[in-house]
Structure 1
Amino acid sequence: MILVTGGAGFIGSNFVLDWLARADEPVVNLDKLTYAGNPDNLASLEGDRRHVFVRGDIGDQPLVEQLLAKYRPRAVLHFAAESHVDRSIHAPGSFIDTNVVGTFRLLEGIRAYLEPLPEAERAAFRLLHVSTDEVYGSLSPAAPAFTEEHRYEPSSPYSASKAASDHLVRAYHQTYGLPVLTTNCSNNYGPHHFPEKLIPLMIVNGLAGRPLPVYGDGMHVRDWLYVGDHCSAIRLVLEAGRPGETYNVGGRSEKSNLEVVRTVCALLDELRPRGDGGSHAGQIQFVPDRPGHDRRYAVDAGKIERELGWRPLETFETGLRRTVEWYLAHPGWVERAQSGAYRDWMARQYGQAG
């Protein structure tokens, strides 16, 4: 048995689906079901006894302790987080509550769970904390990619809250001996991605004939990682990673935001052409840059490649095609994900109806 936090969100749900497609080991899935925690992501698991869903908050320490005592998982995989930079700029409090205080409560619950266990069970247990490359800050165009030794220099309330959670996890390993593993991933994309993030936003707006908002000059660079490749890395780190270690996970696919948007447009032109014969690229609209916008992220995944033999299987081109095709095939999921709260958020952020 494993326990997954945030398993109804984008990366968490992809991991749960991937895990149960490959093994029969049951999953207890703890998710608060905030705006990005979508039960639709897990619809295919309805009636599957291997999947136990619990609606709850990682900040509810008594609940965490109750679940740990009841199910006695051999591992906790911690995906639960507030993750959207723009939202953290407008409302940072929830990011501190979930990413910092929530992680602290989870750690305390795990510490209480492990204390009375026999030594062999404590040693075999793992907490895998899923984090982000944004904790490292911004890179200049010619700078080497982030390694695990790179200094933390977060720029947004979101990345600062994730940096704090990383430090807490590391401290609980050093102070209390918790057998922890940390992964810092680059920008994920793929199925079930909430439509406020760049790639699904471009797909959804492109299909609806709405503007495709691009911050600033569009030359902010990110390393892009297909979510299925990320899931395979997490499985491998859980299986063979060394407790106390951090592993960067990247897709070796640095792209500017504008290049990403134009590639999405080209795929939409091929797979779902506009009725007027024009290109979806004609919908691109540059909007004022957001505060503290990091110019470039790039991840050196050499450590996980050397030590654990992991490699991404998807190129950006193959992964993006799979992603666009998934959204085209699941209009009902998109419609349900676009709640009234989502439309209000889009209007406030980009000055348009959602």
Structure 2
Amino acid sequence: MNEALLRGLTPGVIGVLVRRGADFAAAEDAVQDALLEAVRAWAADPPRDPKGWLITVAWNRFLDATRANTARRRREDLVEPAPESTPAVDDTLQLYFLCAHPSLTPSSAVALTLRAVGGLTTRQIAQAYLVPEATMAQRISRAKRTVSTVRFDQPGDVATVLRVLYLVFNEGYSGDIDLAAEAIRLVRQLAAAIDHPEVAGLLALMLLHHARRPSRTTPDGSLVPLAAQDRELWDTHLIAEGVAILQAALARDQLGEFQAQAAIAALHADALAAEETDWVQIVEWYDELVRLTNSPVVRLNRAVAVGEADGARAGLAALVGLESVPRYLAVAAYLHERDGDAELAARLYAEAAAKASNLAERDYLVRQAARLNSG
């Protein structure tokens, strides 16, 4: 059984059912039933048209459920019978838009996207987010109800879809699902459905970040900062692919924030050693990002780049006004250490550790404070 094939077909099949008149929740349930039937039936007799087979079986499941509920009889009369062949229209893109609808919270949009577009089970999503399965089931059910009244032919917002997929990517890995790899798969699928430079920019960004993954932690799970990473472990094939995709996107002269972020990642990937990093050009790209987003987090990251390009004092000057931004203390500690004030840097590292959002980050900051205090 080809699980990747089934997951790749899932959004298109759900989209067909929704376009024919099924509400989102009923369509998703029917498709899940069809997927279970495929697992049982395809091993012995795989169909020549897998998507058509899934559409037919899912549609029949939906009709069975509709007939079982007399309150929905009139709705059944309004829908057309399932055709023999797969329709030419691909509804995958509309399903992306529906799952990332602005009426959903970010966490609900992520969960619904993984369930409906990604084809993951509720248990897999719950394990990935380290929450009870019942909690995730409720979150997904609420999301389904929220979008059940949204017309499927309404225009969607590409930026919202990309932000949801970026949230998925940033969750990384936990449980038995690699969310970073899953996010890359979904963005590849989105890029095949829509020709958009920011979709390409996000795909390039993900590939470039993912290429560095083997070097980001030690075997015991400790964080390794970028400057100390073993660049021999970086995946050069992913880097080459990401750079090629980015160059094609930038050539269209429609710069967006994901393209700018990818350009920064590409400059890091291009340096054979940390000391060869082109920090001046990275600062220029951060200036573009500030212009595009005016994000305090971007300004914080820019301050680090300024500190590398123009010296720690310049980096500290760029931090002014960013005291409330998460990880400000860690950045300030790093720049003060670079500036020679080890005592202040140690204290700031310790304060940053107390506010760290995860265990690995906290342990890293504690070690930095201990290193300076012992020195």
Fold match, TM over 0.5?
no
Q: Give the structure with higher Rg (CA).
A: 2
Task: Give the structure with the higher percent strand.
Answer: 1
**What TM-score, normalized to structure 2?**
0.27
Q: Which has the higher contact order (CA 8 A, sep 6+)?
A: 1
**What TM-score, normalized to structure 1?**
0.29
Task: Give the structure with the higher percent helix.
Answer: 2
